[in-house]
Amino acid sequence: MRSLVLASLCVLVACSRSELDRRVIPQHEASTPAPTPNYPERRTELKARGEAATGQERLLFVGDSITQGWEGEGAEAWAQRYASFHAMNMGVGGDRTQDVLARLEEGQFAKLKPELIVLMIGTNNTGRNKEAPAKIADGVAAILKQFRARMPDAKILLLAIFPRGKAPADELRMNNVAVNELIARLADGDDVRYLDIGKSFLDADGTLPEAVMPDLLHLSQDGYRRWADAIQPVVDEVLGAKK
């Protein structure tokens, strides 16, 4: 009976795992590659970074300015947690889902073969473009499909879009929550794992403190430490605990 149950679970996981690969994604603004004209220097820098990849890069972070901030306020935590994995930061300020898709199409990630990809994207779709949550979720699904096709051996840690705005009822925060409810369904718990670490940044009453996000969007040093702490169990599981 036990073996039958385990076999049934394996079938269910396999079906769930392949669902994303089979998914037909509607084509619209958020799910179609479209690079922004902003920050061309950063894009050029990351293109060169990707082309210089050595194959030792076990950990890859992909996202917008919040991810790019690992090179600023998050630099100390990055050095302590991820340097040993030859981690690569591919975050670009202002990026939306369509921008990440454009970077994939341009071959920015072509030489990379990470074991773990940490993806957090979408707050510029909600905040700047005011796109509908369902469309943003389609954009995230398109990114996941691309990474699955291009880097099939990599595990993907899909993070919920971080909270923004001071109060729980802030419109921009609520938009991100709506997207998160949809993208959570894209995970299979194995190749693609979903993790919502938003509460790590909030006070008990749901207020977002400026000590964690000074502009109520971008992280402080303490914010990056909280981010690192929250995902450490997954990093340890996939890459092995740091000696």
Q: Is residue 214 part of a domain?
A: yes
Domain that holds residue 151: 48-238
Is 38 domain-assigned? no
The reply to whether 31 falls in a domain is: no
- For this structure, is 218 an active site residue? yes
Q: Do the domain assignments include residue 217? A: yes
Instruction: List the catalytic residue out of 65, 99, 196, 220.
Output: 65
pLDDT band at 242 (very low <50, low <70, confident <90, very high): low
Find the DSSP H helices in the chain: 2-22, 40-51, 65-68, 75-81, 97-105, 123-127, 133-150, 171-183, 221-239
Active-site residue identified among 31, 99, 188, 218:
218
CATH number at residue 183: 3.40.50.1110
The answer to which of 18-32, 67-81, 154-168, 187-201 has the lowest mean pLDDT is 18-32
Identify which of 205, 234, 208 has the alpha carbon closest to the alpha carbon of residue 220. Answer: 208
* pTM for this predicted structure: 0.91
The count of structural domains within the chain is 1
Asked if the structure places residue 24 within a domain, the reply is no
Q: Is residue 176 part of a domain?
A: yes
Active site residue 215: yes
**Active-site residue, from 3, 153, 205, 215:** 215
Do the beta carbons of residue 65 and residue 218 sit within 8 Å?
A: yes
Within-domain flag for 14 = no
Please report which confidence band the pLDDT of residue 23 belongs to, taking 50, 70 and 90 as the band edges.
confident
Summarize pLDDT for 119-158 with one digit per residue, the tens.
999 999 999 889 999 999 999 999 999 999 999 999 999 9
